[in-house]
A = this chain, B = another copy of it.
Amino acid sequence: MYYQAISQLTQNLRTIETWLDKAEEFAAAKKFDINVLLNGRLAPDMKPFIYQVQSATDYVKGGAAWLSGQKPPPYEDSERTIGEVRARIQKTVAFVESVKEKQYADAGRQKVSMSWAPAGKFLVGENYLLQMVIPNAYFHIAMAYAILRHQGVDIGKMDFLGPINWSGG
């Protein structure tokens, strides 16, 4: 299920680009700089939209890499424009899609260290996926959504979920 779980996260990352389409329309209609939205926050001591996208992509990239036994490609975190934010999402999706299902064969046995973990501690694959990658990725995707939503961008929960793989009928 590791491959499917990480694939689902890339789908949710992709939806951010559709929110950015709506953010651009909103900024154009109201005649303000799109950077206002990209630098928007929900609280003065909370990180802005761009950071939320950087962090969400990092968790998804990290999940795909560590669970397939690879080191994640380093990103510079230098995004400032909407084009750069889109590029960050696209390169993350491209990286994750480069990892094939069979490369996750040992995912459950991977040991993953986090820079902020207690000394000597690590997470085994399943805990890393369920306690770190999924909650953090959704946390930051949801904060990115909340920042745009709070500022008036016309997005709703179906924009968050993206396409659903219905069966039957």
Number of copies: 2
Q: Which residues of B contact A126 (CB under 8 A)?
A: 1, 4
A74 part of interface (Cβ distance < 8 Å): no
Q: Report if A135-B138 is in contact (Cβ < 8 Å); known contacts: A120-B169, A168-B122.
A: yes
Shortest CB-to-CB span from A76 to chain B, Å, is 22
Q: Which of A111-129 contact B (CB under 8 A)?
A: 111, 117-124, 126-127
Question: Number of A interface residues, CB 8 Å?
Answer: 43
A contact residues vs B (CB 8 Å cutoff) = 1, 4-5, 8, 12, 42-43, 46, 111, 117-124, 126-127, 130-132, 134-136, 138-139, 142-143, 145-146, 149-150, 152, 157, 160-161, 164-169
